[in-house]
Amino acid sequence: MAPEAVVGRRRIPEGDVVSVVVQLTGGHGQRQYVRVACVWPRGRGVAAQLPLVGMETPSSDTWVALSAEPLPATVAHDWAIRPDCGAVVLFTGTVRDHAEHRTNVTLLEYEAYTEQVEPKLAEIAAVARERWPGIGRVALLHRTGPLELCEVAVVVVVSAPHRDEAFEAARWCIDTLKATVPIWKKERWEGGEDWGLAATDLAEVRDQ
């Protein structure tokens, strides 16, 4: 059974805080609950509840995906655990409220094509295994579509026997993803809406 996630938002009455509650159902019926709270400025609306979504975990030791649905960071972390790996590093990139020369960012929108992105993510994972032969499982997941403040845009997970190689490989994976994968980002802020200003020419994975 594929893990499923229900994501809902509600405002805590005593403050300007939005709670994001995620219920994950694992393959053996276990239920996990993740509650993330972040400050939400006064007067800003709260998005409606998102639908039930699912994402298959792979049978191999590499998981790459481009998805318009909320990313299952906790599922990816638990999937990466293996008996021979004593370290699991999980990185999540979330939507923040500012960007280069832009304040009060309220929304990001990512555009990408699966047939371009997923092979590049797979290449990053393969090269990571060449550079750190001892790593166990690698997950590289990225969102598309509109994302609000505090939502997860990217997930990188690496497991390894020891923490040094897990940290190094995970850092290299996210840096290389940012430099090589064709994903476009549009920003909405107090001054309008336009594509991000930090875009650079894409590089080759093996040059990173």
pLDDT in tens, 6-20: 344 444 444 444 334
Would you say residue 183 lies in a domain?
yes
Which CATH number belongs to the domain containing residue 144 in this structure? 3.90.1170.40
- Vertex 85 angle, CA 71 and 171, to 5°: 55
Distance CA 85, CA 159 (A): 6
Cross-strand pairs, 181? none
**Full domain range(s) for residue 181:** 56-207
- Which pLDDT band, with edges at 50, 70 and 90, does 41 fall under? very low
Backbone φ/ψ region at 133: left (φ over 0), alpha (ψ -120 to 50), beta: alpha
Q: Both tokens of residue 115?
A: 């047939």
- Mean of pLDDT values over 53-76: 87
- Number of domains, the chain: 1
Query: Cα-atom radius of gyration of the chain, to the nearest Å?
Result: 18
Would you say residue 110 lies in a domain?
yes
Q: pLDDT (tens digit, 9 = 90+) per residue, 42-54?
A: 444 443 333 334 5
Span between the terminal Cα atoms of the chain, in Å: 37
Full-model pTM: 0.75
Would you say residue 157 lies in a domain?
yes
